[in-house]
Amino acid sequence: MNKLFFGLGFFGFLWISVFGKAIAQDSLYTKYGDLLLGKIEKITAEKIYFKTAYRSAAVDIKLSEVAKVSSPEGFLLNDIRNKNWRGQLILDSTHQDMVGIRMADSVYFFRQKDIYALGKDQKKRFKDRFKLGIDLGFTRAKSENSLSLSAGMYSRYRTRRWDTNFDFQNYAAIIGPTVIGRSSFTYNLSYILPKEWFFNGRYLLFSTTEQNLDLRRNFSLSMGRYLVHRDDKVFSLSGGLVSNREQYFENPQIFKSVEGNLSTHLYGKFGENFDGMADWSFFPSLTEKGRIRNTLSLDLKYLFLNHFNIGIHYVLNTDSDPPLETENRDFILELKFGWTVHRR
């Protein structure tokens, strides 16, 4: 009999060791007395996404409606100072609008605005950090008030320390004997320092028939700081120097200059389906007296079906004193449809 009990006990130990982790589930209690069993998929500043066995998609529940959450798995919280906190997740009604992490010796609570990212303590894969998207659309340009087709591609890879991305945009149209168009290619590489300071290097190729600009090459180095830096909200300021090289249509001369640079970047998610972004850059020339360039870019997207978006994109370029007599202002307004590899 003892051998039988020993055998059953040993078999039970093996079963729990092998399958116990798979059977264990997260649990969520709402303020209305509901109990959900399943798996926490994602936590944002406003909601928790909870996957259950009876629904194909995760249930989104406002954090203000959560009474308690428990999970057998560990969580990783990265704060806005880039410090990691590992432990058990604590969400309960006694600490409104705060997230807790229970560590070995104590419990720490964080306000939502102090959290950069929060999720299961798992090693991130390449696809979790990589983004790739393609845009197609119609563009209204300043030249001849024309309507033309446009296409673009962007890619981004981001860790907590490194952020690299490229963006390519192009539009073209034929109006009578005239071909009009605008192309840009941008590559950015940033390294994020402690306390949210960062270094940035940027390379730009730009051409526009409106300003009779065959090719502008910019290389810039700058330093800046994130005033807000979270997964769903970013606001930064930066400044530096730019090496500017320009060549115009029907003129073989190459114009070179050195410029200062002041830039702002704002990004935010609005609700569940809207992304917005605004970038402004100011370039006062250090070698050409009185010349000032400005670039303003505004982007608004509506996200749907996980991989798709539709949006509006506006870009304005101004140049107070170009080297040749040409238009000093160029803008486009684009309605675009996009697809991304990553799920939102």
What pLDDT shows up at residue 6?
Answer: 43
Report how far residue 249's alpha carbon sits from residue 89's, in angstroms, rounded to the nearest whole number: 61
pLDDT tier at 344 (50, 70, 90 boundaries)?
Answer: low
Inform me whether the pLDDT recorded for 3 exceeds 70.
no
Select from 289, 292, 323 the least CA-distant residue to 211.
Answer: 323
What pLDDT shows up at residue 223?
Answer: 98
Separation of CA 264 from chain center: 15
pLDDT tier at 264 (50, 70, 90 boundaries)?
Answer: very high
Computed over every residue of the chain, the mean pLDDT equals 85
> Which tokens belong to 322?
């170009």
> Residues of the chain with pLDDT > 70: what percent?
88
Domain residue spans of the chain: 18-122, 127-340
For residue range 288-334, list pLDDT tens digits in order.
999 999 999 999 999 988 789 999 999 999 999 999 888 888 888 88
What class is the 127-340 domain? mainly beta
What is the arithmetic mean of pLDDT over 44-50?
Answer: 80
- DSSP string across 291-335: -EEEEEEEEEEEEETTTEEEEEEEEEEEESS-SSSS-SEEEEEEE
Q: What are phi and psi of 234, to 5 degrees?
A: -140, 135
> Which tokens belong to 61?
């529940």
Count other Cβ atoms within 10 Å, centred on residue 50.
23
Encode 191-255 in three state secondary structure.
Answer: EECHHHEEEEEEEEEEEECCCCEEEEEEEEEEEEEEEEECCCEEEEEEEEEEEEEEEECCCCCEE
What pLDDT shows up at residue 273?
Answer: 86
Q: 231 exposed, middle or buried (CB, 10 Å; 0-12, 13-18, 19+)?
A: middle
What pLDDT shows up at residue 174?
Answer: 61
3-state SS assignment for residue 127: helix
